[in-house]
Amino acid sequence: MADERGGQVIRKREPRWQSAAERARVAAELIEEAESLTETSTIATPADVRRASLPPPIHAELPPELRPELPIAPAPPPPAVPPTLDGALAADPENVGLLVERARRLAAARHYTAAERDLQRALRNDPVHADALAAFGVVLSRKGLWSEAVPFLRRVVEAEPGRAVGWYQLGEALNKIDDLPGARAAYERAVELEPRNAKALYGLGIVLDRLRRPEEATRMYRRSREAADR
């Protein structure tokens, strides 16, 4: 910068720092100001610039049918299927209880010949098995072979004298072959063991009727109806 005085040009000198200490103080202030600007600066960094150029995030949910299922505990195993009678007998062919049970089912389906085969096998293994004897007697009775059924049914009540159904079945067979005294005794024994056995009471009434004892027969019929109604 120049100043004109008396035709002379006087140039002003630039101010100079007065001392090294002053220069150091000013430098320190400049450094401090620069550091404060760096700490509080709002100027975007390169990472900020890159992030700003990205599209905004999208928030969306899958429809319920497309949502992945949460893992669940495995289902318990199904219960074991009980073996069939045929399968059980294949594993234990001489089991008397299984043979009798299959014979009963065969007889219920009117497969009497097959039922007899099973019962014969059962009685070969256990000749006094009461259930096998009773089942054989019933099979023969259903076939109308009453006379052949009687020996089996007698053996049942001999093996198990307290078996009311055995006495009833024996009474039925004896009545069919016209052994009326024997039938009456068998029915009466069944009624003694089971006073409310409606079938035994009714069978006893029939036998008493055949024995020409109508009053006693009527009383048995009445008791049979009363037992059946309870």
pLDDT at 156: 97
Give the number of other CB atoms < 10 A from CB of residue 134: 25
- Give the whole-angstrom CA distance, residue 157 versus residue 146: 16
- Give the whole-angstrom CA distance, residue 144 versus residue 135: 14
Average pLDDT over all residues of the chain? 83
Helical axes 112-125 vs 130-142, angle rounded to 10°: 160
Provide the CB-side half-sphere exposure for 42 (13 A, CA): 0
For the whole prediction, is pTM greater than 0.75? no
Contacts of 157 (CB under 8 A, 6+ apart): 163, 166, 167, 170, 186, 189
pLDDT at 19: 64
Residue ranges and CATH numbers for the domains of the chain are 93-160 (1.25.40.10), 161-230 (1.25.40.10)
At residue 64 the predicted structure's pLDDT band, cuts being 50, 70 and 90, is low
- List, for residues 94-119, the tens digit of each pLDDT value: 999 999 999 999 999 999 999 999 99
At residue 230 the predicted structure's pLDDT band, cuts being 50, 70 and 90, is confident
At residue 195 the predicted structure's pLDDT band, cuts being 50, 70 and 90, is very high
Contacts of 211 (CB under 8 A, 6+ apart): 180, 184
- List, for residues 34-43, the tens digit of each pLDDT value: 566 555 555 5
Q: What is the dihedral of CA 41, 42, 48, 53, to 10 degrees?
A: -150
Decide: 156 and 169 in contact? Cβ < 8 Å.
yes
